[in-house]
Each structure stands twice: as C-alpha cells, then as structure tokens.
Amino acid sequence: MQMKSFDIVVIGGGPGGYVAAIRASQLGKSVAVIEREHLGGICLNWGCIPTKALLRAAEMRHNLAHMSDFGIEVTGEVKVNLEKVVSRSRKVAARLSSGVAHLLKKNKVTVIEGSARLGARSGANWVVEISGKDSQKTDSQKIQAAHVILATGARARQIPGLETDGKNILSYKEAMVPSQMPKSLIVVGSGAIGVEFASFYADMGVEVTIIEALDRILNAEDEEISALAHKAFTARGIAIHTSAKLQKLTSAKDGVTAEVEIGGKSQKLAADKVIMAVGITGNSEGLGLEGTKVELDRGHIKTDAMMRTAEPGLYAIGDITGAPWLAHKASHEGILCVEAIAGEKNLHTMQADMVPGCTYCRPQIASVGLSEAAARAKGYKIKVGKFPFLGNGKAIALGDDEGMIKTIFDEKTGALLGAHMIGPEVTELIQGYVIAQSLETTEAELMKTIFPHPTLSEAMHESVLDAYGRAIHF
C-alpha cells in the first residue's frame, strides 16, 4: 500500500506542534500531527493551564481569610474540598485539550494517535514510522513528508539517586493531583515551577520549605525582583534555604527525610512530601535521530534562527530545543518555522531576549528583556526606573500594594532593554512592555503615552518616568 504523503508532518501536539500545524494549514499546506498521549501537550494537560486553576483556588482561599479587611465578615469555618479543587483543575485541562482537537479538525489537519520515529528517507521525503498508542498492538503505519517538525517537548529532570517515586517524592504530575493535603512539604528547586507549587501549597495551609542550590531563588529573574520575592515568601511563612545542596532523600511510610548541606554543614529536614522541581530534559530519545546530522546539547536539539536542524527538511521547536521553556515561545517558533518552509516574506527570527516570562505565584512575577546585571555585563550604559505598587492608587484600593515595577533603558538610544515586575496582576501587565520592545519604542514614546487612571498600569508609566527623574507620584 502506498504511503500517504503530506507537505509537513509535525511530531507532537503541544502548544508548539498544534500551532505550527494550524498555521501551515492556513498557508495551504497538507499537514499531519502525530501525538502519542494528549493534544495540547504538557502545557494544557499537566502544566500551564491546570496549575493556574489550582493557584486560583489557593488565591481565593487566601482572599477569604482577609475579607474582614474590606468590611465583609465571613462567619463559620472556610473548608477546602480538595477533591473538587483537583477535579476542577482537570476539567479545565480536558476542556482546552478538546478545544485543540476541534481547532485541528476545523483547519483540516490530520491527527494521528501514536508514537513516531524517523525512518529511512524516500527520495527527498522523510519517512515517519508510527506505532499504535496501545503497546499491545502490532499495527503500525508509515507516512512521508518533505518537511518534518519535531515538537516532542520535555519531561521533568530526574537526578540520579534522588528520583521521584510517585508516593512521597513527587514530580509535577503527582503534585497537581493530591488526594489529601500534606501537613509539611519540601520543594526542591526555586524556578517558576518550584515557587508556583510552593505558593499553592502554602496558601492551602501547608508548611512549606524551599531548597535551592544556587545563591538566590528565581535565579533567572532580576536580582532585585528575586530579593523581593524571597522577602514576600518568608513573610508568608515559607522557609527558604539557598546555596543548599541536596545530598539524599529517604522515603518512609510516615514521610521523607532530606539530607541537605547548608553553609557547609549537613542538616536533616523532615516533611510529609517532597516535590522535585529541578528542571526538565528534552524528549529526544526514540525519534530515530541516530545516524542523522542532528546535534544534541544535553538532550536538547540544536537549531538555527529559523528552527532548522543540521538535516535538510528536519526542524525542531519548543522545549526540545532548550531554554526558555515556555509555551508561548514554542507557539511562536512553530509559526516562524512553517512560514519559513512556506517561503513567506518579511520573516523575523526568534530573539530570546524578547520572550516574556511569567510566574504565577503570590505575588506574581513577570519580566522581559535584560536584567540590570545582564545589561551592565553587555556593556550598556543604562538608566533604571523603579516604582513601587504602594504608590499606585488601584493597588492600594485592591489591598494588594506589595511589589514594584523596574525598567531598564539604554542611556544612549533610549531603547527599552528590560522590564521586571513583581506584584498584583503583573503577568497581564508585562505585555505592554513586550509590545513596546517589539515596536522599538524608546522612553520618549512611553513617557508621552497616556495611561488610564486608576489602573495598575500607571505604575508602568511611573517606572519609565523615574528612569529619567520625572516620576510624579513617588
């Protein structure tokens, strides 16, 4: 039987893969997506989306505890129905995953369930071998395409000797579906995933401890933002150990003991559960890359600015290509990739410095561009503006005036080099600066822009003004 041919085959149906497939279809290409587990990938099913549903529940619990500050008396005990909290999170994920299936069908994208690997070339085409989803099945099929996009994502990194067991030592998957709340919890790692889980469990009444090997939490963020987050978390009762080396985890029936080297001395920390949040590794195994020219760096595939690998007609996007590991970066790469394949004009390349990052802990954190230290390290002479939310009327009215906005400009050109935020709804505010960077806006345009009152966004304006000695409200 003759193999079915497509213009493009996408291996992986996450936020990179399904977006690439839809854009390719819009450009008139015949497309197939191969997904072995669930459309929407980790992000929609076990990451970005369901965690936000959990964090929303924790935020509401926190807000209820402070309703009296607003003159609203809540009588009686506030109870958490954990089963419903988790169930709602899973329903949100399922709804979006089915939405992806609808979008692919609407755009006439062929969806194939199964595991894929590259086979031998057939002339100019790549042959993709697909095995059935059920491991007991023996059926398989082959399809071919001139262009194959690898969008297989990544998985939680395991540290030898400190592996998760799914019971007391948890990965993000088990941490998202607790059957009961632990009384105490250790979170290993303080990147976005680690601090979001720490924030969720702390707001649910759990005693939380963070262990971080580096000298500060949220190491990817501007140092000033990192310090403010540390202060906010400790004020909430979260214990934080930085420059701490985890040496051993011992799991028993009644909990886990972590042996940690802190300040050169070994200590034992006990907790009911441990969440390992120590990074991710690319899903590059089993794809048939052996014998190809594809280059790997610690499990991640190397690509050029248009997401091409060293093999003609073979591309890679999203988490499998390395940091930053963000869904919106994967989606953007998918669009860039297929537009390059289709020969679209006026293409632009992916610039990591212009990818915004958001962390949905309490308080929220968001950033884009260079930190102050990175800007100085690159040799820029800079102007830095800061504005605290305690000077913002809307934040005060909301009862949430913790945090600040920080902006960094090139002194010579006025270009916005970076923006860093911590505080209420900053994950929604950051896009204003992202657009400004994309349009190559300078401080002059930003200062002349009228920001509505009363809004949190006024703090963005004031931060820009402060960089040039013109802040009004602080």
**Nearest alpha-carbon partner for 364 in 207, 242, 202, 196:** 196
Active site residue 300: no
Which one of 328, 453, 461, 473 is the catalytic residue? Answer: 453
Active site members: 453
